[in-house]
């Protein structure tokens, strides 16, 4: 068991959770046993994810912004890089929201199952609806006003203040760049170390993921034993995968239009990094291979690749952003919540900015989703619904993240005249990729 990869353990946890849940539905008192003795471990797992959401964003964002080192880089090549990254992220979130509103995967859950879920998973549903109504009645610039916290320590006490935390982290990182390097070195080293500690905490929490998934699914089965719930989950997964495929198509199109490189050239060049990203679910672990493919096989000069790609591994999470948008609306639909247009615009902003703070490690996207759910007033207990298929979707969205990094590196290189031909020999149908 120890030699099994984590994703296999999570899949086993899923299977055993479903089987145990189904088994206990046939016993009198089985539901109560699951609720009293198994479900609490699922809640502990969810709470552990919520626990590190704000520290993760603070650490990753401050480190990512301060790693730019020179404000002139931030305003020149850095400005182009971050601008394109944010642009593609907005496209990804918009695609996700469009698809999930069109497919409506959560609407396939019947009303009786939905009422059971609301009762079992969201004791605070009325509170969330009341808060959402208050938010709906505020002025047009209230969302902008709310981004700037009046007290960062007060803001950090709730995951619902994620936008305020992101604003502070970016502001802090820029200020850290602007002060003399020798004066900011201690602070920079602290946040570098702090980031490593938080990432290790993510690793440790994910070790408990198989047991958390087991507990969550077992409870889900006994509390909502309805096939339409699993049908909805299937439609949710299909919606995410289709959106990710659309995003890869957009990358290929953008590269073809702006760099004049053929789609097959780009896909052949980056495919080994895509496969590694799929198997590891980590942009950071894939970074060395991504850099090698981009420089030696896509023609991006090392000066550009060494600047753009590490930033991308930190702040460019298009696949993660798309998934967060779909997941948030799906959970809201499953709980019978109607998200208005302004709230969904807020989801675009929150998912875009939260993706900047997503660590390039497996499972971090789920942590960031807590912030998106909190912003929109969606019950965080809904994470139990999507955790069953999160691992394979995590593999897919990481592949999209890495593809986006490579595409943006080519765009930036082209804009500064640093994109060349990696091979003297042209790509043709008989050419074998090295």
The residues, any chain, with a CB within 8 Å of residue 173's CB and separated by 6 or more, are: 61, 62, 63, 64, 65, 66
Q: How far apart are CA 409 and CA 273, in angstroms?
A: 14
- Count Cβ atoms within 10 A of the Cβ of residue 427 and give its class: 0-12 exposed, 13-18 middle, 19 or more buried: middle
Residue range 318-331, pLDDT digits in tens: 888 888 888 888 88
Residue 194 pLDDT greater than 60, yes or no: yes
Residue range 56-111, pLDDT digits in tens: 778 777 876 777 666 665 566 777 887 888 888 889 988 998 998 898 887 777 76
What's the chain's average pLDDT? 76
Q: What is the DSSP letter of 427?
A: P
**For residues 213-226, average pLDDT:** 74
The whole-number pLDDT of residue 115 equals 65
% the chain with pLDDT above 90: 11
Count, residues in the chain: 434
> If DSSP codes are grouped into helix, strand and coil, which group holds residue 419?
strand
Which range (207-211, 282-286, 312-316, 430-434) has the least confidence? 430-434
Q: Which of 60, 96, 107 is nearest to 396 (CA)?
A: 96
Q: What is the DSSP letter of 52?
A: T
Query: What are 92's two structure tokens?
Result: 């990804």
Do 399 and 319 contact (CB within 8 A), yes or no?
yes
Q: Count other Cβ atoms within 10 Å, centred on residue 125.
A: 18
Q: Count other Cβ atoms within 10 Å, centred on residue 372.
A: 26
Q: Which residues pair with 419 in a beta bridge?
A: 300
Domains in the chain (CATH in brackets) are: 6-415 (1.10.3860)
Residue range 230-288, pLDDT digits in tens: 778 888 889 999 999 999 999 999 999 998 888 999 998 888 888 877 766 667 667 77
Q: How far apart are CA 277 and CA 280, in angstroms?
A: 5
Q: How far apart are CA 92 and CA 95, in angstroms?
A: 5
The residues, any chain, with a CB within 8 Å of residue 25's CB and separated by 6 or more, are: 31, 221, 222, 225
Q: How far apart are CA 221 and CA 23, in angstroms?
A: 10
Report the predicted TM-score, pTM, of the whole model to 2 decimal places. Answer: 0.64
Residue 39 pLDDT greater than 80, yes or no: yes
Q: What is the 3-state secondary structure (H, E, C) of 299-345?
A: CECHHHHHHHHHHHHHHCCHHHHHHHHHHHHHHHHHCCCCCCHHHHH
DSSP-assigned states of every residue in 368-408: HHHHHHHHHT--GGGHHHHGGGHHHHHHHHHHHHHHHHHHH
């Amino acid at each position: 068991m120890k030699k099994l990869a984590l994703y296999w353990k999570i899949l086993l946890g899923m299977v055993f959770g479903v089987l145990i849940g189904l088994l206990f539905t046939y016993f009198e008192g089985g539901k109560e046993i699951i609720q009293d003795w198994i479900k609490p471990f699922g809640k502990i797992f969810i709470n552990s994810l919520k626990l590190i959401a704000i520290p993760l964003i603070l650490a990753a964002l401050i480190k990512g912004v301060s790693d730019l080192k020179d404000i002139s880089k931030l305003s020149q090549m850095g400005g182009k890089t971050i601008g394109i990254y944010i642009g593609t992220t907005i496209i990804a979130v918009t695609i996700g929201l469009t698809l999930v509103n069109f497919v409506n995967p959560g609407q396939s859950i019947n009303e009786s199952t939905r009422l059971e879920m609301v009762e079992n998973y969201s004791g605070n549903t009325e509170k969330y609806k009341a808060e959402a109504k208050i938010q709906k009645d505020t002025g047009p610039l209230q969302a902008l006003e709310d981004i700037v916290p009046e007290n960062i320590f007060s803001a950090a006490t709730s995951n619902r203040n994620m936008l305020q935390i992101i604003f502070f982290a970016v502001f802090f990182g820029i200020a850290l760049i602007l002060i003399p390097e020798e004066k900011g070195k201690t602070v920079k080293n602290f946040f570098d170390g702090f980031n490593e500690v938080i990432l290790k905490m993510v690793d440790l929490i994910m070790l408990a993921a198989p047991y958390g998934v087991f507990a969550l699914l077992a409870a889900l089965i006994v509390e909502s034993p309805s096939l339409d719930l699993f049908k909805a989950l299937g439609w949710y997964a299909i919606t995410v995968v289709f959106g990710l495929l659309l995003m890869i198509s957009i990358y290929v199109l953008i590269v073809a239009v702006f760099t004049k490189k053929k789609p097959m050239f780009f896909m052949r060049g980056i495919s080994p990094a895509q496969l590694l990203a799929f198997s590891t679910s980590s942009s950071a672990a894939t970074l060395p291979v991504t850099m090698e493919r981009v420089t030696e096989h896509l023609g991006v000069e090392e000066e550009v690749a060494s600047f753009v790609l590490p930033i991308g591994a930190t702040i460019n999470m298009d696949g993660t952003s798309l998934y967060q948008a779909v997941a948030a609306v799906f959970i809201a639909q499953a709980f019978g919540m109607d998200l208005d247009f302004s709230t969904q615009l807020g989801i675009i902003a929150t998912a875009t900015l939260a993706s900047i703070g997503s660590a390039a490690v497996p499972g971090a996207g789920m942590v960031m989703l807590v912030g998106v759910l909190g912003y929109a007033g969606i019950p965080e207990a809904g994470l139990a619904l999507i955790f069953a298929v999160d691992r394979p979707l995590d593999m897919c969205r990481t592949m999209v993240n890495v593809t986006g990094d490579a595409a943006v590196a080519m765009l930036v290189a082209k804009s500064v005249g640093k994109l060349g031909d990696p091979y003297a020999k042209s790509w043709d149908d008989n050419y074998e990729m090295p």
